[in-house]
């Protein structure tokens, strides 16, 4: 809670004037996380929690239980709840994508937020009801940008290789080694398959990672605490929303020399920080670590299983393929191992009594 003019802290003040610059302020102009701020009676310091939707007193005026004096929210001394100092911040600021700003400004602000200040996104998510539709729209926009830029790069690379390998042959009077259509598809095909499949892979990955994260959260006692508004503290829809918002970090892969692995790591870190801030704001400060690790494990588990499955597939498919190229036959034994036999006819020993017939070599003309 800071002054809008000079950013001076406004906690523990009895008046409504900033002590640094003299700017007037009102308690009601600030929104807080529910139960993160105490409103103390100015006469006897009796604390009351801000239990309203915006962290305000409900009702805003009443008789103090300690000194029986008339108390209003505007006359109270505001103090953050011990242990929730980081969460006792204005929650009225939503996720930038959900504001009324222009398209590119919303996209830029949301991407920058999930990259360098993901905690603010977690606090903003915790302050509102699930917004899966907005989060999914943001995710689709991110996937569309990645798809469009990748398609342009692959098309440019494919056309360049087509011209260099065979397309220019006719210009200099040569003949291409293969048809132009085959040459062009050999350059564009693999990249097109990967580009078109990436959104489907990411789209399938999000719910799987969210389900695993929620499983870890519940197994280790995350459901023992309930949020201040009575709903589920970290549900499947909330986990999906966190992953969708944090997917903005994938746009880092568009930066030259910044490979996709780095963007994926950043996505994991950002989602973990958002989940930590959400758990701290909606459940209790001690749940922040569990929220972060649940999200990390949820995001890494599908990758681990996928890599193991790919390795097993390579093992079972690679050995028979290698043996085939070497001219052998590979069989799978009951012991769980492969054995390779050469694909040649066995040698038959010659009969010693059978006469040896010399075949003369053909004459050279």
Task: Give yes or no for residue 231 having a pLDDT over 50.
Answer: no
Mean pLDDT calculated for residue range 179-206: 70
Q: Which pair of structure tokens corresponds to residue 150?
A: 């990748």
Are residue 292 and residue 232 in the same domain, yes or no? yes
Are residue 2 and residue 84 in the same domain, yes or no? yes
Q: Does 322 map to a domain?
A: no
- Name the percent of the chain lying above pLDDT 70: 64
Task: Give yes or no for residue 89 having a pLDDT over 70.
Answer: no
Amino acid 272: pLDDT: 92
What's 24's DSSP letter? B
116 burial via Cβ count (<10 Å: 0-12, 13-18, 19+): exposed
Q: Taking the CA atoms of the chain, what radius of gyration do you get in angstroms?
A: 33
Give backbone dihedrals phi and psi of 362, rounded to 5 degrees, phi first. Answer: -65, 145
What's 167's DSSP letter? I
Pairing mode of beta strands 61-63, 70-72:
antiparallel
More confident residue, 359 or 154: 154
Are residue 109 and residue 136 in the same domain, yes or no? yes
Give backbone dihedrals phi and psi of 99, rounded to 5 degrees, phi first. Answer: -85, 180
Distance CA 196, CA 189 (A): 11
Are residue 55 and residue 109 in the same domain, yes or no? no
Distance CA 332, CA 6 (A): 76
Between 8-12, 193-197, 276-280, the lowest mean confidence (pLDDT) is in 193-197
Amino acid 312: pLDDT: 76
**Boundary of a domain, candidates 73, 92, 111:** 92
Are residue 128 and residue 256 in the same domain, yes or no? yes
Give backbone dihedrals phi and psi of 136, rounded to 5 degrees, phi first. Answer: -70, -35
Are residue 30 and residue 119 in the same domain, yes or no? no
Mean pLDDT calculated for residue range 324-349: 51
Q: Are 42 and 73 in contact (CB under 8 A)?
A: no
3-class DSSP assignment, residue 53: coil
Are residue 37 and residue 119 in the same domain, yes or no? no
**Boundary of a domain, candidates 316, 331, 346:** 316
Amino acid 35: pLDDT: 78
User: What's this model's pTM, rounded to 2 decimal places?
Assistant: 0.62
Distance CA 159, CA 152 (A): 11
Mean pLDDT calculated for residue range 173-201: 63
Are residue 123 and residue 233 in the same domain, yes or no? yes
Q: Are 35 and 49 in contact (CB under 8 A)?
A: yes
For residue 342, what are the β-bridge partners? 328
Distance CA 120, CA 33 (A): 12
Distance CA 2, CA 204 (A): 42
Give backbone dihedrals phi and psi of 32, rounded to 5 degrees, phi first. Answer: -130, 165
Q: Does 323 map to a domain?
A: no
Q: 8 — alpha (psi -120 to 50), left (phi > 0) or beta?
A: beta
Q: Does 41 map to a domain?
A: yes
Are residue 130 and residue 232 in the same domain, yes or no? yes
**Boundary of a domain, candidates 297, 316, 335:** 316
Give the model's confidence band at 172: pLDDT under 50 very low, under 70 low, under 90 confident, else very high.
Answer: low
Query: Number of folded domains in the chain?
Result: 2
Task: Give yes or no for residue 88 having a pLDDT over 60.
Answer: no
Task: Give yes or no for residue 142 having a pLDDT over 80.
Answer: yes
Give the model's confidence band at 229: pLDDT under 50 very low, under 70 low, under 90 confident, else very high.
Answer: very low
Tokens 């940008």: give the residue: 145
Q: Does 336 map to a domain?
A: no
Are residue 127 and residue 76 in the same domain, yes or no? no
Between 124-138, 230-244, 302-316, 338-352, the lowest mean confidence (pLDDT) is in 338-352
Domain that holds residue 84: 1-92
Q: Does 286 map to a domain?
A: yes
Distance CA 25, CA 13 (A): 11
Are residue 82 and residue 109 in the same domain, yes or no? no
Question: What mean pLDDT, rounded, does the chain reach?
Answer: 75
Are residue 18 and residue 110 in the same domain, yes or no? no
Between 188-202, 264-278, 347-361, the lowest mean confidence (pLDDT) is in 347-361
pLDDT one-digit tens code per residue, 101-139: 899 999 999 999 999 988 888 878 877 778 899 999 999
Q: Does 339 map to a domain?
A: no
Q: Does 291 map to a domain?
A: yes
Alpha helices in 220-259 (DSSP H): 236-246
């Amino acid at each position: 809670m800071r002054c809008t003019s000079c950013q001076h802290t406004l906690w523990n003040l009895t008046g409504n004037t900033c002590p640094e610059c003299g700017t007037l302020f009102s308690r009601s102009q600030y929104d807080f996380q529910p139960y993160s701020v105490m409103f103390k009676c100015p006469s006897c310091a009796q604390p009351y929690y801000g239990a309203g939707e915006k962290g305000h007193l409900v009702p805003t005026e009443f008789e103090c239980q300690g000194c029986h004096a008339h108390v209003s929210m505007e006359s109270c001394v505001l103090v953050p709840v011990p242990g929730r100092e980081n969460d006792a911040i204005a929650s009225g600021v939503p996720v930038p994508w959900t504001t009324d700003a222009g398209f590119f400004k919303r996209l830029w602000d949301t991407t920058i937020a999930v990259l360098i200040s993901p905690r603010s996104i977690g606090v903003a998510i915790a302050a509102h009801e699930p917004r899966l539709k907005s989060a999914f729209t943001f995710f689709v926009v991110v996937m569309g940008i990645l798809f469009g830029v990748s398609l342009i790069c692959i098309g440019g690379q494919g056309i360049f290789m087509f011209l260099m390998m065979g397309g220019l042959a006719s210009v200099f009077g040569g003949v291409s080694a293969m048809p132009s259509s085959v040459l062009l598809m050999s350059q564009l095909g693999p990249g097109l398959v990967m580009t078109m499949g990436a959104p489907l892979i990411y789209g399938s990955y999000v719910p799987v990672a969210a389900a695993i994260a929620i499983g870890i959260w519940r197994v280790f006692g995350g459901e023992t605490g309930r949020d201040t508004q009575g709903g589920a503290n970290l549900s499947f829809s909330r986990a999906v929303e966190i992953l969708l918002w944090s997917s903005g970090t994938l746009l880092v892969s568009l930066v030259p020399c910044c490979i996709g692995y780095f963007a994926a790591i950043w996505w994991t870190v950002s989602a973990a920080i958002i989940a930590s801030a959400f758990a701290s704001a909606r459940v209790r400060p001690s749940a922040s670590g569990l929220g972060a690790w649940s999200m990390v494990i949820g995001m890494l588990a599908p990758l681990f299983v996928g890599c193991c499955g790919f390795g097993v597939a390579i093992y079972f498919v690679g050995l028979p393929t290698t043996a085939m190229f070497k001219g052998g036959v590979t069989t799978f034994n009951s012991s769980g191992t492969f054995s390779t036999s050469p694909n040649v006819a066995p040698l038959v020993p010659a009969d010693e009594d059978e006469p040896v017939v010399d075949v003369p070599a053909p004459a050279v003309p």
